[in-house]
A and B are shown apart, each in its own frame.
Chain A
Amino acid sequence: MNLTLFIWRQKGRDTKGSLEQYEAKDISTEMSFLEMLDEVNEQLIKNNQEPIAFDHDCREGICGMCSQVINGVPHGPQQRTTVCQLHMRHFKDGDSIYIEPWRARAFPVIKDLITDRSSMDSIIQAGGYISVHTGGVPDANAVLISKENADTAMDASECIGCGACVAACPNGSAMLFTAAKITHLASLPQGQIEAARRVCIMTEAMLQNGFGNCSNHYECQAACPKGIRVSFIAKLNREFMKAHLKDSV
């Protein structure tokens, strides 16, 4: 099939970008979306043009590197799918496809479709961990964890840190990302000791890094390739209130 692509091109961090039009010809329905872009790039190189820069790595939907807004939806039209797992059979011959980078103040564009997402690492650095030293820990079965809590922790911990939630959020908020980590750790006895401190410094770090606030549009959940749920945001809010109530008592 043949497609018309409108792709965001931007030379660098401080330059202005624009949507450029490209024709993708003879695209197989078997291709993944990124393979389609590979093909376009091969043609661009052969025609002495600069290929389109885009982030990608594992191409099996787990590393969280790929990050494109396709026709207005982060990771494209298929639910719970990363761009790398999206296949061309979901498009039709003659389609126009708009491909843009993640957009948020906290994710400045580096080049074309590549953004700087180190702000998410900063949130984790603030407190997204259990402060345990290597070695000197109790036996793994010494502290029992109910299956229910372990499952909730796992549900939350499936986050791949791609940033689609931020890209989808009209407020550029990283609330779902932060809430997933808060929920993961607060669901485990090991993580509860630091829970109050953690929720305060992580939400603070979120705002410090230029992310917006949550106003409950729930776009994040719809865009999340791993199905991380907004109920974790309620959990974060609960933990936050608990921390402040405890503080003031």
Chain B
Amino acid sequence: MAVTGQILVLFIIIHMIGNSAIYSGGLNAYADRLHSLPLLVWIFRLVMLTMFSLHIVFGIGLYLENRKAKPDEYAIRKDMRATFASKNMVWTGLLTGVFLVYHLLHFTIQIIHPESAALSNSDASGLPDVSGMVVQSFQDAGVSAVYVFAVTALFLHLSHGIQSSFQSTGISSERTLPVIIKTGAITALVLFLGYVSIPVLIYIGLVKG
């Protein structure tokens, strides 16, 4: 759980850095470079698919086992350290998973909004217009809302998940745990802001591709 999670976090970080190319106008070039290495891309995709699948299978298994271990709830329950995020990992995770399918259909397979698909549109330099696809999509309030909602779920998931993975792999200690908890939450927040900024800024018209 923790190890797959950590690998997924690494991906999420790299993915965000890649996406930020949209602000410098280099997104199309970045996408093109990636696609010029098909073997690497496919290996990468396979690894990610495995990690995602394992993470989901483990996660659901864990959730079911844990629910079984606590069959009755208290009439009154007061949380002392547990948070909304920590208690809803399976839901924020599943939401992220569903979103991921949408996201792939949208930007990778490009069948959800075919009118803006990069596969059928080129930019000035003849590269597939990924940037245009993104900008065009996010000008739609509905699409942006889906992304904002999903990225919020991911934020909640990571705000607990990052520090939790360090604890579960035994990397944390008495001294480092508070730092890890804080760093995990900050990382989740930075990722959230990074990801959420794209649909939001595009929608309000600050980024035009």
Contacts and interface: CB of A to CB of B under 8 A. Distances in A.
Q: Taking the complex as a whole, does A directly touch B, i.e. does some CB pair lie under 8 Å apart?
A: yes
Interface residues of A, number: 44
**Range, interface on chain B:** 20 to 34
B76 interface: yes
B78 to A, nearest CB: 4
B33 interface: no
B75 A98 contact: yes
Given A229-B174, A237-B167, A104 B69 contact: yes
Interface stretch (A29-37, A44-52, A212-220): A212-220
Contacts of B160: 216
Nearest to A155: B174
A139 B81 CA distance: 44
A179 to B, nearest CB: 10
A105 B71 contact: yes
Interface string A197-221: 0000000000100111111111101
Contacts of A221: 81
Interface in A172-204: 172-173
Chain B contact residues, majority secondary structure = loop
A113 interface: no
Contacts of A238: 170-171
Interface stretch (B13-21, B45-53, B82-90): B82-90
B172 interface: yes
Contacts of A114: none
A112 interface: no
Interface stretch (B60-68, B113-121, B149-157, B191-199): B60-68
Contact of A233 (B68, B70, B71, B167): B167
B69 A237 contact: no
Of all A-B residue pairs in the complex, the 6 with the closest CB atoms, nearest first, are: A238-B170, A212-B69, A222-B80, A237-B170, A72-B78, A171-B66
20 contacts: A6-B75, A69-B74, A72-B77, A98-B75, A103-B70, A104-B69, A170-B70, A172-B69, A214-B168, A215-B62, A216-B86, A216-B160, A217-B82, A218-B82, A219-B82, A222-B81, A229-B174, A230-B177, A231-B173, A239-B170
Interface of B: 62, 65-66, 68-83, 86-87, 89, 160, 163-164, 167-174, 177
Given A219-B82, A234-B171, 18 more contacts: A19-B75, A98-B75, A103-B70, A103-B72, A171-B66, A212-B65, A215-B62, A218-B82, A219-B81, A221-B81, A223-B80, A230-B167, A231-B173, A234-B167, A236-B170, A237-B167, A237-B168, A238-B171
